[in-house]
Amino acid sequence: MSQQLRNIAIIAHVDHGKTTLVDQMLRQSGTFRENQQVAERVMDSGDLEKEKGITISSKNTAVKWKDTKINIIDTPGHADFGGEVERILKMVNGVILLVDAAEGPLPQTKFVLRKSLALNYQPIVVINKIDRKDARPDAVLNEIFDLFVSLDATNEQLDFPILYAVGINGIAKTELEDEGKDLAPLFDLIVNHIPAPEQISDAPFKMLVSSVDWNDYVGRIAIGRVEQGTIKTNQEIVLMDRKGNQKSKAKATKLYTFNGLTREPVDEAHAGDIFALAGYDAVEIGDTLTHISDPTPIEYYDIDQPTMAMYFRVNNSPFAGREGEYVTSNMIKDRLEKEIRTNVSIRVMQTENPDIFKVSGRGELQLAILTETMRREGYEFAVSRPEVLFKEIDDELYEPFEEVVVDVHADYSNKVIDNLQKRKGIMTSMVQEGDNHRLEFSVPSRGLIGFRGEMLTETRGTGIMHQQFSEYKEFAGEIPGRNRGTLISLERGEVTPYALEGLQDRGQFLVEPGDPVYEGQVVGINNRVDDLVVNVVKKKNLTNHRATQSADAVKISQARKMSLEQCIEFIDNDELLEVTPKSLRIRKLHLDHNERKRAEKKKEAVGQ
């Protein structure tokens, strides 16, 4: 029953064209009918993935090329979803490293390549987007070679095959000068260069669960590669956790193999193939499914630990419960526990307060994506400002540092350098590329909270930033906080044009006339450093005199609308972000003005 198999993962930095290339691989392998209408970036199936144009969770697909079945895994390119990349690398036997012909290797390229080289894979390098006006494929190839050397690649790994591609048009070629018509050179290289999986058929069945999915009809679905043996439907197998404890014994009710975008039911699965299995409700990533005769787990590849945390809490604002469907602490707890079953790089901890949960992850974006997903599912809650997770090593305080690359026009580079140096960043390199500067820094993760928004303002929206966790280093010292205070609502009510007109010179407003607000809600950004309490619900006193037309025409500058990520970056330590399916409201932790004063005095006393 042995068949020709290849298992590969496509790895790259965010936005270097992985998902678009997979689209073309599916089309050219005959997966879609000729007249079939298929969405662009078909593998990015989630709403948030489509909107943001990024891959958040890895996806499995499979294509047939000549007589070989190629299992392909499309992986996330963003640093915050690195946990997804790490666990699926164990399912494959080789990787395609995709690098943008203009941008070259970036922090996440380095991260995913390091993981692949450590597993002794010999990558295929594809230099993509060679049709860009600013493409520099030869220079990028040198940078890739330098990156392999810096990551201690072996001689075999350094002898990597190279293809040049225009992924969006489905073209790959071995030489830049070649014509190039399709992806045949890539398919042939996969078959000839990537080793086939070991197919040990005569041993007892074993499989490591690398991914978990959910289906309303069959429940939890375990996805992984069969390490050895064969499994048939309704065969009884044992589920073991990663420590070797037996969790349950049950029958495999359904088996599925991957074909294109679909999962096809099959009667049996063989060693070396990637497949999905239903019948085990308690299955989690890192568990082993094994034959009854050999109940021992497969060693689990442990992933990097979280570096940042946010506190999720029950919403206790005056508007609590108005817009959300799921609002209680038990509902929020159940949803967070559901998340950690499929998201290996998130940790959830109950605090002393039953209404507050500490959620740790890889970065701001990952925590913001979780917040946005819950919001769309109908949850209502509040979140705190992100905080980094410190470590104590030999009685010294250590904190996470990130490798940061900023591509910025030469006119703005000084502003970016000054801002990052204030945030305890150390510049490691500066390269001029045309009119742009590529700046590389090592920055404490603390210093990057809120930086992206400031950088976009300073560079008039033209700066591009990439970041990637690098290591824990000694505590870098105090970092200055937000340089502007807030405008806080004095009382509850509806915002009036009359009140806003009188306060316009104080700062920029986050609310519009007619918006409901409550005492302690942040309604604007102050022009000064301190917070200011303002009355935005004040009504105009009515008199018997008719107002002139010009007096009625109130001109108010437009309110600033912030996205969820911008709100999370903006909030300070004494503030919360109230998140509901319909609204985002920034508020003070203590809504009452006098309580805030008392909390401030207490903090000062502790500081002294």
pLDDT digits (tens, 9 = 90+) for 289-312: 888 888 888 776 656 678 889 999
Q: What is the dihedral of CA 114, 116, 118, 121, to 10 degrees?
A: -140
Q: What share of the chain is helix, strand, coil (3-state, %, to 5)?
A: 25, 35, 40
Residue 490 pLDDT grade (very low, low, confident, very high; cuts 50, 70, 90): very high
pLDDT tens-digit series, residues 41-52: 333 334 443 443
- Residues with Cβ within 8 Å of residue 429, at least 6 apart in sequence: 438, 439, 440
Rg (CA), the chain: 27
What distance in Å separates the CA atoms of residue 464 and residue 485, rounded to the nearest whole number?
A: 27
Report the 10 Å Cβ neighbour count for 8: 21
Q: Which structural domain range is residue 581 located in?
A: 486-542+550-607
d(CA 426, CA 179): 45
Q: List the CATH number of the domain containing 457.
A: 3.30.70.240
Q: Is 131 part of any known ligand binding site? A: yes
Please indicate if the annotation marks 130 as binding a ligand.
Answer: yes
Q: Inter-axis angle of helices 107-118 and 137-150, to 10 degrees?
A: 50
Q: Give the three-class secondary structure for 225.
A: strand
59 marked as binding residue: no
Residue 328 domain-assigned? no
Q: SS3 for 235-287, per residue?
A: CEEEEECCCCCEEEEEECCEEEEEEECEEEEECEEECCCEEEEECCCCCCCCC
The response to whether 593 counts as a known ligand-binding position is no
Summarised one tens digit per residue, pLDDT across range 503-525 is: 888 999 999 999 999 999 999 99
Span of 183-187, 325-329, 432-436, 445-449 with lowest mean pLDDT: 432-436
Mean pLDDT, to the nearest integer, of 398-406?
89
SS3 of 422, please?
helix
Q: Check whether residue 410 and residue 538 sit in a common domain.
A: no
> Cα separation of 122 and 160, whole Å?
7
Q: Is 178 helix (H, G, I), strand (E, B) or coil?
A: coil
- CA–CA separation, 428 and 106 (whole Å): 14
Strands 68-74 and 486-489, sheet pairing = unpaired
**What span, in angstroms and rounded, lies between the C-alpha atoms of 313 and 320?**
12
16 annotated as belonging to a binding site for a ligand: yes
52 is in an annotated binding site: no
Torsion sign over Cα 2, 223, 305, 421 = positive
Based on the structure, what is the number of domains in the chain?
4
Q: Do 162 and 37 lie in a common domain? A: yes
CA angle, corner 215, sides to 214 and 216, nearest 5? 125
Judge whether 15 is annotated as a binding position.
yes
Would residue 321 count as lying in a domain? no
pLDDT in the model for residue 9: 86
CATH (domain of 576): 2.40.50.250
Where does the pLDDT of residue 54 fall: very low under 50, low under 70, confident under 90, or very high at 90 and above? very low
Please check whether residue 125 is in contact with residue 164, taking contact to mean a CB–CB distance below 8 angstroms.
no
User: Is residue 309 a part of any domain in this protein?
Assistant: no
Average per-residue pLDDT in the chain? 82
Half-sphere exposure of 569 (CA within 13 A, CB side): 18
CATH number at residue 97: 3.40.50.300
Lowest mean pLDDT, pick from 24-38, 433-447, 475-489:
24-38
Q: Is 20 assigned to a binding site?
A: yes
DSSP H or E stretch at residue 465 = strand 464-474
93 has pLDDT over 90: no
Do 148 and 212 reside in the same domain of the chain? no
Phi/psi for 64 (5° steps) reads -105, 130
pLDDT at 86: 63
Q: Which residue, among 408, 464, 462, 452, has the nearest Cα to 562 in the 3D structure? A: 452
Q: Is 193 annotated as a binding residue?
A: no
Flag whether 490 is in a domain. yes
Q: In what order do the strands lie in the sheet with 68-74?
A: 59-65, 68-74, 4-12, 94-100, 124-128, 162-166, 171-173
Query: CA torsion angle for 61, 64, 68, 71 (degrees, to 10)?
Result: 0
Instruction: Say if 234 falls within a structural domain.
Output: yes
Residue 335, domain member (yes or no): no
Q: Is residue 442 part of a domain?
A: yes
Domain boundary among 291, 321, 356: 291
d(CA 260, CA 257): 10
Residue at 199 is within a domain: no
pLDDT exceeds 60 at position 444: yes
Cβ atoms of 249 and 290 closer than 8 Å:
no
307 Cβ neighbours under 8 A, 6+ residues apart: 362, 363, 388, 389, 400, 445, 469
Whole-number pLDDT of residue 87: 66
215 is in an annotated binding site: no
At 46 the pLDDT is 45
Same domain (yes/no): 220, 168: no
In total, the chain counts a number of residues equal to 608
Per-residue pLDDT tens for 192-213?
Answer: 998 888 877 788 888 888 777 7
